[in-house]
Amino acid sequence: MAALPPLLHLPPLCCLSAGARTKPSPAVVRRSFEEPTLSSESHAGPRKRPPPLHHTPRPAGRPAVSSQTHTNPVIPGPYEPVEDGLARFNHAPEAAAEAVLLACCASRRWALRVAAHRPYPDLDALLAAADEAGYDLTHDDVTEALAGERSPGLDPTAPSAAHTALRAAHAAYESRFGHAFVICLEGRRPTEHLNEMLGGIRVRMTNERDEERAIAAEELRRLARARLTHLLTNHPEPDTAGAPR
């Protein structure tokens, strides 16, 4: 098989942009580790096909904050055709594909499951498989995925009062629930991000632990979906990142 060029190497995924852009890009919470790229190596041998995915309804509980309704993450623009990125993902070595998936969701079982079902005929099929695997995350899977996240921060140029308010809100949330606050800001304008995060934390702080865990799991699923789309389309991301945990 002919050598495949590297998939892509995105700048860090993040939460907020420094200002309006000609082609606004959706925001997602940045992972706490660097996103890998797919290499051009080939498979050492045929892969055993896993059994079909079976959908398990997500746990009962309040859905993600209503103002965070997911929108189509694919924004038309002069970026890499999704077919090219998907082809490289489909033909990448197992370990490379799993590493890319772990950059989208830190649950190893989720990454193994999505990688094992390659090749995918199109992006919709990949996202559907990622969704189903996300709905099936166990308690331990969610714990593992949350451990790989860090709370979103602000652009360094934001007012110091905004940084202070967000740090205090994150600290209160993490003290109550024991993990980073996760939220998918896909489709939101940069000017809305601070209010979305502060409002989301304020509302979710009133949840019981099990209820909040179900909401966090849903946000993880939405984040994984957005990150996958950005990786495969080489969609540019805002060039700022939140503070490390």
User: What is d(CA 83, CA 76) in angstroms, rounded to the nearest whole number?
Assistant: 14
pLDDT on residue 38: 53
Question: Which CATH superfamily hosts domain 77-233?
Answer: Oxo-4-hydroxy-4-carboxy-5-ureidoimidazoline decarboxylase (1.10.3330.10)
User: What local confidence, expressed as pLDDT, does residue 157 receive?
Assistant: 80
Please answer whether residues 104 and 232 qualify as being in contact, where contact means their C-beta atoms are separated by less than 8 angstroms. no
Q: What is the pLDDT of residue 154?
A: 79
List, for the chain, all residue ranges whose pLDDT scores fall below the cut of 50: 1-35, 39-79, 236-245
Q: Is 223 exposed, middle or buried (0-12, 13-18, 19+ CB in 10 A)?
A: buried
What pLDDT, on the 0 to 100 scale, is given for residue 155?
76
Provide the angle, in degrees to the nearest 10, between the axes of the packed helices 82-91 and 209-233. 110
pLDDT digits (tens, 9 = 90+) for 132-157: 999 999 999 999 999 999 988 877 78
146, two tokens: 């949350």
Tens digits of residue pLDDT in 180-195: 999 999 888 888 889 9
Domain ranges in the chain are: 77-233
pTM of the model: 0.66
CB 205 within 8 A of CB 173: yes
Within 13 Å, how many C-alpha atoms sit on residue 186's CB side? 23
User: What per-residue confidence (pLDDT) applies to 235?
Assistant: 54
